[in-house]
Amino acid sequence: MKKSKIGTTLPMAGLPQGGETLGNIGPAPSGLNLANHFLIAMPSMEDPIFGGAVVYICEHNEKGVLGVVINKPTDMTMEVLFDRIDLKVAEGLRAHVVDEPIMFGGPVQDDRGFVLHSPGGRYSSSLNVTDEVAFTTSIDVLEAVASGAGPARMLVSIGYAGWSPGQLEEEISRNGWLTVGADAHVLFDLPIEERYNAAIKLLGIDPMMLATEAGHA
């Protein structure tokens, strides 16, 4: 089993490179900013990767869009991830932490880990998206979790979802996605299998009605 290649700073579309600062990139050319929104795949979407997905958008700027799928668990747990990156788990670390499944965050850099979590702590490559959600791409957050001093709420993914400038806007215009302001409760607290319907309900839509309409499209 290969070791994860989680690095200290991860290059990726939608986040700054080199000497730039997280969250300090210019706006998207469209003027649209979907950071801290959910992207909800329309029920008619048959894409094998994004069909049925809810994506949390961390960044939307002139370099593109970066998000994390929040409702597609892999067969890997936190315990397995800690083992892959050679992190010793603190004695007595809560069982639900080590047993927590790792999400399939998206098809980009799917050999690296990314963490959505409640703000707090000082990590070397981290972005506070809101007062309730931060996004960290450096291994030090996982080191904190393994030691028992990690964030109170978190979601760990392998890989992320990325769109080049204008790509997501085009997909939305073709009715591939619904968008709604994100809710940290849905992101962190709800069982994984409930997140899709809960995200749709944030729009004031009955998920069953939406599925019926898509079936008659």
Query: Which distant-in-sequence residues (6+ apart) come within 8 Å of 114 by Cβ?
Result: 10, 68, 105, 135, 136, 137, 156, 157, 158, 159, 160
- 210's enclosing H/E stretch is helix 207-215
> The pTM is what?
0.85
Q: Tell me how far apart the alpha carbons of residues 196 and 145 are, in angstroms, rounded to a whole number.
A: 27
Instruction: Kindly list the domain boundaries of the chain, sorted by start residue.
Output: 37-215
How much is the average pLDDT of 190-206? Answer: 95
Other C-beta atoms within 10 Å of 181: how many? 10
Is 193 a residue whose pLDDT tops 50? yes
How much is the average pLDDT of 159-163? Answer: 95
Give the pLDDT band (50/70/90) at residue 88.
Answer: confident
Give the pLDDT band (50/70/90) at residue 36.
Answer: very high
**CB contact at 8 A, 179 and 34:** yes
Q: Topology of 37-215 in CATH?
A: VC0467-like (3.40.1740)
pLDDT of 111-156, one tens digit each?
888 999 999 888 989 999 999 999 999 999 999 999 888 899 999 9
Q: Tell me how far apart the alpha carbons of residues 128 and 69 are, in angstroms, rounded to a whole number.
A: 18
